[in-house]
A and B are shown apart, each in its own frame.
Chain A
């Protein structure tokens, strides 16, 4: 043969496997408007549902009159708590062990709470009729301040459990108390504080905000009376969880429920939970015998489904005079709204918040969280975050700055002094986490060099002097953040949701011609899973990524999985994919050995083939082996080439990063301008650098929104005042800064391909970085902490308080 055989490297490049900036498969349909989102679905005879909502933050319901609504031509039915009682669905269990009203039962506990569900022939009629449902309310005293929730005379939010002294997570100390949860060593921590040289204490509030994907939550429920089967299409980040919960709630056997999550227009945590609208649509379909669509509008989305954060953290750090941290103590009040519907692993009412010691070597720490009820919407999802990690990272990163300021040290230098050193990994934190791998000092040094940190500080110094001399009205702030994430929930010994261990799964079938399909229990909402999982398979099996179809979101075909959130897809399902590939490869090796008439051990793997050791001319490619698997398997072997893996991770993964931000602030207007933002991420093995960069850009933009303007604000009467895009800040292309991205690569030692996950890192690290930059600008004037969000008004107010306006 005179054809040059391609080298291993050439063959590997053709596969578009790990490390390749592979263009996305899903884009082909999206750029042509051929995505298939829930609201695109239209079934014969489909009805539309619309919710009637409470205008009050807290009120007793005296009467509901649906007669006028029901009389509107085109209205098919109206559901209220009374109707739901007949099917025992007035209340539903939450993921956090609480119960929640599906439709208001006797009273409403927060503004826009669901009161009735109108079902009509079209959207407009449903909305018209919803307006005609007459509800008589008797307003009750409102509390929206979590710090007042446990006052002796606070309004009773939950009459249904007022006298219960035990909750899902132990003793309750007040009728508005949900749980107390703690980690670390209180006695040792208190002792360390007693002999500390220097301490700081600050109330750090992470305001309530909302993930706000561009597509709201929606579903279509279709109940087939003859078969007794329910098909539910919806915006579900975790389709199997919805099926199981749906079955437990509705008593429809689980095998008769088909949950389908088609393309999802962003999730960021919003689409993990089970919401009233879904239950109402299901009941409506059962009652009417027709498919029912429910779509949220934006106001409903912002005000009722899935808030995030609302953590009020009293943070303390102790350190030696020369800048070594010795202890950390944090007492948090967590506002969970009217029902505890937090989407956390069930045993972790405060999520993974005890990651709060961050990237620093704290000898001891103690964390205590009290969850409370208020007259706000339930939810408590991880907005692009792994279960309360954003709150923890924000708190520690702000506190490190405050301590550096007190010590008179540079914040970066103070961090470097306390970062966990490379040789300490695997590192056990004071609150008990085992960090898998890290090289923090290298990352920090690279970041500081990239932005020329020293020069930035010199410039800042000169500008501060100019400011003092009255030559400029602009302040410059430099924000530094070094974060450690904890993602990939998670190990079954630690994590479950309603008793289901948080493993994930992949099922791979290789077809005779060497192409294949991989089905997973996760669900992409824009992360590009159809592209990246195929890259893992390409490298593992030596088949071109283009030959692999990735399918998610159909509970009938996909193996059971816990879904996509908390950056768990790569750490858990990515691992399952690799492990399933390895099973397939092991079988292929036996087939190759049989065909080549050698012993298994005489073969070695080379990119896309098994070849005979020492005789590379003799080989069988994976494509040949796929064919052989269906026609000439060794005697006694089952034909076919497929495998399934349920991966229970041995540990979490711990991505990390170093971010630096430069901000300029006009003290007279409070306007801020992000001059520069540099983000270095280490997410272990990099599957697709293009997608990683895209994830970082997106996460940073969300972080920018949170830090600089997002807040779900309630007035004292319980009115939510920021529930539309008029008031809830979403950055446009104009405000959004230019992002500089960078990376180091420290693989996870316990993950089959060393990947750690990245989707949420930029949100976790970004928010403290922006906030630190803003706070840093004012620090030389003695200011220690300005609360987020740092919109122009708050920033101007901070300047005013510091006497900067003369």
Chain B
């Protein structure tokens, strides 16, 4: 199959490649670029394990062709840590609040939560739950993921995190 030239920024680095037009962005990231943080959990765009941040939006990278991402600026879980290499507020929140178990949904969850907090600095529990409803988790039951995101929001806003009473 004829290949097309694509160039995009992935976690701050410019990459160029020849890809088949039908290559999904998730396969391009994982198989060609070895960016294996984003995962594949379904065939129907439901699970969100493949979520990346693309030009300021959360995108399910299984639902887009690599050629459509030509010229895009992409951030994956691999590009989430602070500039000095320390965990960012969300990564820290997920660990502190036990917001992950098997870790398979986590890269997509954190990338999604990152965009959510960019759009809404101080989301309510309900807004968080709606905000991550495109990302499935089979392990945690979401409650601690919600807390992890609240933890991160508090940290980013410079206020102490208070756990809601049970």
> Which A residues are within 8 Å of any B CB, using their own CB?
23-24, 26-35, 37, 39-40, 42, 122-124, 212-216, 263-266, 268, 295, 297-299, 525-528, 690-691, 693-695, 697-702, 724-726, 730, 732-734, 736, 738-740
For A29, what are the chain B residues with a Cβ–Cβ distance below 8 Å? Answer: 103
The listed residue with most B CB atoms (<10 A of its CB), out of A213, A298, A698, A739, is A698
What residues of chain A lie closer than 8 Å to B41, measured between beta carbons? 214-216, 265, 298
Contact between A690 and B27, CB atoms less than 8 A apart: no
Report whether B103 and A265 are in contact in the complex, using a CB–CB cutoff of 8 Å: yes
B9–chain A nearest beta-carbon distance, Å: 17
B95 touches A24 (CB 8 A): yes
- B23-49, CB < 8 A from A: 23, 27, 30-31, 34, 36-44, 46-47, 49
Extra A-B contacts (20), CB below 8 Å, given A297-B43, A694-B140 = A30-B103, A30-B106, A34-B37, A123-B31, A213-B104, A214-B49, A214-B104, A215-B104, A216-B41, A263-B102, A265-B103, A298-B42, A526-B139, A700-B141, A725-B136, A734-B129, A736-B129, A736-B141, A738-B143, A740-B166
Interface-facing stretch out of B53-61, B72-80, B153-161? B72-80
- Tell me how far the C-beta of A205 lies from the nearest C-beta in chain B, rounded to whole angstroms: 24
B12-29 near A? 1/0 per residue, CB < 8 Å: 000000001011000100
User: B82: shortest Cβ distance to chain A, in Å?
Assistant: 11
Tell yes or no: B150 within 8 A of A by CB: no
Given contacts A214-B105, A734-B133, contact A27 B100 (CB under 8 A): yes
B residues in contact with A730, CB < 8 Å: 46, 136, 138
Contact A212 B143 (CB under 8 A): no
B132: CB under 8 A from chain A?
A: yes
- For B47, the chain A residues whose CB sits under 8 A away are 214, 298, 725
Q: Which 3 A-B pairs have the closest CB atoms?
A: A33-B37, A526-B102, A265-B104
Q: A215-B39, A215-B41 are in contact. Are A733 and B129 (CB under 8 A)?
A: yes
Residues of B within 8 A of A33 (CB): 36-38, 76-78, 80, 107
At the interface, yes or no: B144 with Cβ under 8 Å from chain A?
yes
When A265-B102, A734-B130 are in contact, do A698 and B107 touch as well, CB less than 8 Å?
A: no
Is B65 an interface position by the 8 A CB rule?
no
Assuming the A-B contacts A725-B46, A733-B128, A734-B130, are A31 and B140 also in contact, with contact meaning beta carbons closer than 8 angstroms in the complex? Answer: no
Query: Are A32 and B141 within 8 A (Cβ)?
Result: no
Interface of A is mostly: loop
Contact call B95/A213, Cβ cutoff below 8 A:
no
Residues of A within 8 A of B139 (CB): 214, 266, 526, 694, 698
Q: Is the CB of A31 within 8 A of B138?
A: no
Q: Does A725 lie within 8 Å of B143, measured CB to CB?
A: no
| B145 close to chain A: CB less than 8 A | yes
In the complex, which residues of chain A have a beta carbon less than 8 angstroms from the beta carbon of B100? 27, 30-31
Is B64 an interface residue when CB atoms closer than 8 A count as contact? no
**Complex Cα distance A266/B49, Å?**
13
| Among candidates B22, B39, B87, residue contacting A31 with C-beta atoms closer than 8 Å | B87
B64 to chain A, nearest CB (A): 16
- Select one of A122, A264, A266, A701 contacting B141, CB under 8 A: A701
B132 and chain A: residue at smallest CB distance: A733
Which partner residue on chain A sits nearest B77 by CB separation?
Answer: A33
Contacts of A297 in B (CB 8 A): 43
Q: How far is the CA of A724 from the CA of B141 in the complex (A)?
A: 20
CB distance from A428 to the nearest CB of B (A): 35
A23 & B27 in contact (Cβ 8 Å cutoff): no
Most central of A525, A733, A734 by chain B CB within 10 Å: A733
The residues of B that contact A697 with a CB separation of less than 8 Å are 140-144
Write the nearest CB–CB distance from B126 to chain A, whole angstroms: 9
| Contact A724 B94, beta carbon cutoff 8 Å | no
In the complex, residue of chain A having the shortest beta-carbon distance to the beta carbon of B92: A31
B106 to chain A, nearest CB (A): 5
> What 1/0 flags go to B66-101 for Cβ under 8 Å of A?
000000000011101100000100110011101011
State whether B101 touches A527 (Cβ < 8 A): yes
B105 smallest CB distance to A (angstroms): 5
Chain B: which residue is nearest A125 at the CB level? B1
The interface residues of chain B lying within 8 Å CB-to-CB of A528 are: 101
Q: Is B137 an interface residue (CB 8 A)?
A: yes
A202 to chain B, nearest CB (A): 30
Question: B73 to chain A: closest CB distance in Å?
Answer: 18
Q: Does the CB pair B138–A24 fall under 8 Å?
A: no
Q: How far is the CA of A693 from the CA of B147 in the complex (A)?
A: 13
Closest to A218 in B: B40
Q: Pick the contact of A264 from B42, B96, B102 — CB < 8 Å?
A: B102
Given B31, B39, B80, B137, which contacts A37 in the complex, CB threshold below 8 Å? Answer: B39
Considering the complex, give the chain B residue whose CB is closest to the CB of A696. B141
Contact in complex: A213, B102 (CB < 8 Å): yes
CA distance in complex: A18, B1 (Å): 58
Contact A525 B102 (CB under 8 A): yes
Bound-state Cα–Cα, A215 to B101, Å: 13
Residue of B nearest to A678 (CB): B166
What are 9 A-to-B residue pairs whose CB atoms are below 8 Å? A32-B91, A33-B37, A39-B40, A212-B138, A214-B136, A265-B103, A266-B139, A698-B141, A738-B143
Contact A32:B80 (CB < 8 A) given known A214-B41, A298-B43:
yes
Any A CB within 8 A of the CB of B110: yes
In the assembly, what is the distance between CA of A699 and CA of B139, in Å? 8
Distance to closest chain A CB from B116 (angstroms):
11
Q: How far is the CA of A440 from the CA of B31 in the complex (A)?
A: 53
Encoded as 1 (CB less than 8 Å from any A CB) or 0, chain B from 99 to 129 comes to: 0111111110010000000000000000011
A594 to chain B, nearest CB (A): 43
Asked whether A726 and B143 contact (CB < 8 A) given A734-B129, A740-B166, the answer is: no
**A31 contacts B110, C-beta separation under 8 Å:** yes
Q: Judge whether A35 and B104 touch: CB under 8 Å.
A: yes
Tell yes or no: B10 within 8 A of A by CB.
no
B98 contacts A24, C-beta separation under 8 Å: yes
Q: B36, B90, B104, B146: which contacts A266 (Cβ < 8 A)?
A: B104
- Taking the nearest CB of chain B, how far is it from the CB of A803, in angstroms? 36
A637 to chain B minimum Cβ distance, whole angstroms, is 42
Return chain B residues, CB-CB under 8 Å to A35: 103-104, 106
Is there contact, CB below 8 Å, between A39 and B78?
no
Taken together as a complex, chains A and B put the C-alpha atoms of A263 and B100 apart, in Å, by 13
Chain A residues with CB under 8 A of B130: 733-734
Residue in A27, A268, A734 whose beta carbon sits within 8 Å of that of B138 in the complex:
A268
With the chains together, A566 CA to B143 CA distance in Å?
24
**Complex-state Cα separation, A28 to B43, whole angstroms:** 28
Closest Cβ neighbor of B137 among chain A residues: A214
Bound complex: CA of A691 vs CA of B38, how far in Å?
25
In the bound complex, CA of A527 to CA of B138 (Å): 12
Give the distance in Å from the alpha carbon of A527 to the alpha carbon of B102 in the complex. Answer: 7
Whole-angstrom CA separation of A748 from B143 in the bound complex: 30
List chain A residues, Cβ under 8 A from B43. 297-299, 724
Contact A263 B103 (CB under 8 A): yes
The listed residue (B80, B102, B136) touching A732 by CB distance below 8 A is: B136
Q: Is the CB of A32 within 8 A of B78?
A: yes
- Shortest B166–chain A CB gap in Å is 6
